């Protein structure tokens, strides 16, 4: 079951208590060790059986999925000298994206977003990274993520990843997470364009509900993108020897991506606001047309109703009641009045 922060009330700082909205799953550990020439991968590794490479020439990636096994998390923390506050933040999966500097490592928290095309829902999952010398440790609540392209590049020795250090691995993982933001934001942009076409043609109540849903999702994505932009900016200038100078150039490019995404979200929110105005204006215009039509009909029938009311009184001394052609004259007069009024309305531009 989900655990809330209130359950930690009164506990000492650094107490390892999971605070998550995700169901608890079994903890699995994968280990990749690589350099420009060699590569090894081990799955389902026990926490006390983790082998790391030579930090002077190898890069080790320890990928932890599932945070239910506190003993395993604690063992990893003791093995690599991770601060208790760091481990506490790993288990508290409702943190906003951030970067913290510790004595021997950097701690980075980001949100990994995924999109369900059937339910059109956006899911958020916290991913925590620890960057050490020749080492990257990643923690996430559940197996399955968007980082598989990075694993494939390592396995197949594609690009420059195997030739770079652990800092470049961290950058690559952050980059693939941010790239997934692009896909989600672009999908929201397409939904807004489709709404514009429908609303312009004929606004409906369901379109207003769809606009509210897209706005909610944009706000949800913005809540993750904005602190991620701050994170990449700080990561680019943080005075840490763990991040090489040439890697900072890539991190700067990553920051540009987050800025672009944030600006796109802002533009889409403005589009939604304008679209809502268009929606209400369209409804008002349709209502005005209906009211105008009803007014014209009512205006035409006012004199006709008067005539019918006069000749419906049935007084004995009404000459027209006994006239042979009275009915036809009255009906003809009513028709002429209607046609003359329609002609006047058309001439004045009311129809």
**Nearest CA-CA partner of 171 in 242, 283, 251:** 251
Give φ, ψ of 64 to 5 degrees: -105, 120
The answer to whether the beta carbons of residues 65 and 138 sit under 8 Å apart is no
Query: Which residue, 346, 208, 191, 347, is CA-closest to 277?
Result: 208
Q: Which domain holds residue 335?
A: 289-347
The four Cα atoms 70, 131, 259, 94 give a dihedral, to 10 degrees, of 10
Last residue of a domain, one of 251, 281, 311: 281
Q: How many CA atoms lie within 13 A of 246 on its CB side?
A: 6
Is 51:31 a contact under the CB 8 Å cutoff? yes
- In the listed set 281, 307, 331, which residue is the last one of a domain according to the structure? 281
Same domain for 265 and 303, yes or no, is no
In this structure, the answer to whether residues 154 and 262 fall within a common structural domain is yes
Q: Do residues 142 and 237 both lie within one domain?
A: yes
What would the pLDDT profile of 191-231 be if each residue is shown by its tens digit?
A: 999 998 888 888 888 888 888 889 999 998 988 888 999 99
By residue count, the chain amounts to 351
196 lies in the same domain as 137: yes
Q: Domains in the chain: how many in total? A: 2
**pTM of structure:** 0.77
Give the closest residue to 212 by CA, choosing from 174, 269, 140: 269
pLDDT at residue 3, as a whole number: 47
pLDDT at 138: 94
Q: Would you state the structure tokens that stand for residue 87, as one six-digit string? A: 């481990």
Claim to verify: residue 273 and residue 319 sit in the same structural domain? no
Q: Are both 251 and 219 inside the same structural domain?
A: yes
Closest CA to 241 of 54, 104, 56, 77: 104
**In terms of domains, do 227 and 332 share one?**
no
CATH code for the domain of 300:
1.20.58.340
Looking at the fold, whether 183 and 245 belong to one and the same domain comes out as yes
Q: What is the pLDDT of residue 1?
A: 39
- Residue 233, both tokens: 């900016």
Which residues of the chain register pLDDT less than 70?
1-24, 117-120, 351
Cα–Cα distances in angstroms (integers) from residue 182 to residues 51, 118, 186, 265, in the given order: 36, 19, 6, 10
For residue 141, the cross-strand partners are none
Helix (H, G, I), strand (E, B) or coil at 136: strand
Q: Are residues 236 and 302 in the same domain?
A: no
Among the candidates 226, 247, 281, a domain finishes at: 281
The Cα–Cα gap between 11 and 5 comes to 11
Where residue 136 sits, what CATH number does that domain have?
3.30.460.20
Same domain, 154 and 293: no
Q: Do 45 and 188 sit in the same domain of this protein?
A: yes
48 DSSP 8-state letter: T
For residue 117, what is the DSSP state?
A: T
In this predicted structure, what is the pLDDT of residue 139?
94
Orientation angle between helical segments 166-201 and 205-237, nearest 10 degrees: 160
pLDDT at 17: 60
| 293, 326: one domain | yes
Q: Helices marked H in the chain — which ranges?
A: 70-79, 84-91, 148-156, 166-201, 205-237, 245-310, 326-347
Tokens for 96? Answer: 């906003």
């Amino acid at each position: 079951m989900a655990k809330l922060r209130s359950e930690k009330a009164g506990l000492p700082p650094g107490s390892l208590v999971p605070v998550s909205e995700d169901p608890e799953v079994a903890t699995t550990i994968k280990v990749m060790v690589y350099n420009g020439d060699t590569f090894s991968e081990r799955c389902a590794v026990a926490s006390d059986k983790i082998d790391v490479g030579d930090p002077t020439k190898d890069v080790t990636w320890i990928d932890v999925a599932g945070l239910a096994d506190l003993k395993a998390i604690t063992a990893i923390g003791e093995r690599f000298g991770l601060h208790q506050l760091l481990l506490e933040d790993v288990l508290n999966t409702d943190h906003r994206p951030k970067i913290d500097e510790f004595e021997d490592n950097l701690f980075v928290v980001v949100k990994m977003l995924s999109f369900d095309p059937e339910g059109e829902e956006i899911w958020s999952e916290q991913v925590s990274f620890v960057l050490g010398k020749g080492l990257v440790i990643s923690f996430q609540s559940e197996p399955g993520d968007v980082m598989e392209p990075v694993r494939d590049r390592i396995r197949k020795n594609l690009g420059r990843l195997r030739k770079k250090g652990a800092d470049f691995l961290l950058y690559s993982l952050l980059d693939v997470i941010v790239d997934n933001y692009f896909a989600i934001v672009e999908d929201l942009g397409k939904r807004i364009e489709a709404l514009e076409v429908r609303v312009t043609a004929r606004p409906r109540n369901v379109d207003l509900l769809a606009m509210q849903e897209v706005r909610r999702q944009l706000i949800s994505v913005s809540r993750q993108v904005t602190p991620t932009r701050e994170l990449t900016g700080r990561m680019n200038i943080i005075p840490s020897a763990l991040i090489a100078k040439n890697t900072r150039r890539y991190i700067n490019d990553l920051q540009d991506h987050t800025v672009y995404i944030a600006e796109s979200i802002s533009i889409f929110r403005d589009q939604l606001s304008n679209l809502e105005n268009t929606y209400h204006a369209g409804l008002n215009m349709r209502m005005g047309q209906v009211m105008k039509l009803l007014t014209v009909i009512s205006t035409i029938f006012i004199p006709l109703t008067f005539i019918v009311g006069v000749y419906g009184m049935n007084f004995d001394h009404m000459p027209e009641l006994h006239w042979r052609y009275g009915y036809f004259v009255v009906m003809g007069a009513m028709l002429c009045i209607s046609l003359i009024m329609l002609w006047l309305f058309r001439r004045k531009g009311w129809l």
